[in-house]
Amino acid sequence: MNVFSHPEFDNHEHLSFFCDPETGLKAIVAIHNTSRGPALGGCRMFPYASDEDALRDVLRLSRGMTYKSALANLDLGGGKSVIIGDPRQHKTEALLEAMGRHLEGLGGQYIAAEDSGTSVTDLKVMGRHTGHVAGIASRTGFDGKPSNGDPSPVTAYGTFIGLKAAVKHRLGSDDLSGLKVAIQGIGNVGFRLAKHLKDAGADLWVYDIHADNMQRAVDELGARPASAEDILLLPVDVIAPCAMGAVLNDSSIPNIQAGIVAGAANNLLDRPEHDAMLKQHGILYAPDFAINAGGIIDVFYERKGASPEQVRAHVDTIGDTLTEIFNRSDQTGLPTGEIANKLAEERFRKHTAGAGLAPQRLACAG
pLDDT in tens, 176-224: 999 999 999 999 999 999 999 999 999 999 999 999 999 999 999 999 9
Q: Determine the residue type at 202.
A: A
Measured CA distances, 124 to 100, 140, 148, 263 (Å): 9, 18, 11, 28
Give the per-residue pLDDT at 352. 57
Residue of 26, 80, 164, 279 marked active site: 80
Q: Can you identify the CATH homologous superfamily of domain 146-334?
A: NAD(P)-binding Rossmann-like Domain (3.40.50.720)
Q: Which residue type occupies 59? A: L
How far is Cα 339 from Cα 336, in angstroms, rounded to an integer? 5
| Three-state SS at 343 | helix
Q: Who's near 333: CB < 8 A, 6+ residues apart?
A: none
The annotated binding site for NAD(+) is made up of 185-190
14-136 belongs to CATH 3.40.50.10860? yes
- The residues near 229 (Cβ < 8 Å, ≥ 6 apart) are none
| Interacting residues of 273 by C-beta distance below 8 A, sequence separation 6+ | none
- Distance, in Å, from the CA atom of 20 to the CA atom of 92, rounded to the nearest integer, reads 13
Residue 80: active-site member? yes
Please tell me what DSSP assigns to residue 242. Answer: -
What is the spatial distance between Cα 188 and Cα 337, in angstroms, rounded to a whole number?
25
* Rounded Cα distance, 61 and 71, in Å: 15
Whether residue 322 contacts residue 289, with contact meaning beta carbons closer than 8 Å, is answered with no
pTM greater than 0.95 (yes/no): no
- Which residues does 67 contact at the CB level (< 8 Å), separation at least 6? 78, 289, 340, 341, 344, 345, 348
**CA 81, CA 91: separation in Å to the nearest integer?**
15
Q: Which residues are annotated as a binding site?
A: 185-190
Q: What's the pLDDT at 356?
A: 41
Tell me how far apart the alpha carbons of residues 151 and 148 are, in angstroms, rounded to a whole number. 9
Nearest CA-CA partner of 76 in 121, 120, 118, 40: 40
Per the CB < 8 A criterion, the answer to whether 84 and 347 are in contact is: no
The C-alpha angle 263, 136, 148, rounded to 5 degrees, equals: 80
Q: Name the pairing type of β-strands 260-261 and 238-241.
A: parallel
Reported residue count of the chain is 366
Q: Name the amino acid, one letter, at 325.
A: I
CATH 3.40.50.720 intervals, the chain: 146-334
Amino acid 12: pLDDT: 97
* Residues of the chain with confidence (pLDDT) below 70: 1, 142, 350-366
The pLDDT of residue 350: 66
Q: What is the pLDDT of residue 146?
A: 79
**Which of these, 244, 196, 300, lies nearest to 49 by C-alpha position?**
244
pLDDT at residue 366 in the model: 36
From-to residues of CATH 3.40.50.10860 in the chain: 14-136
Burial class, 89, CB count within 10 angstroms (exposed 0-12 / middle 13-18 / buried 19+):
exposed
Q: How far is CA 42 from CA 19, 78, 206, 263, 353, in A?
A: 19, 10, 24, 17, 27
The answer to whether the beta carbons of residues 294 and 156 sit under 8 Å apart is yes
CA gap 228, 225 in Å, rounded = 10
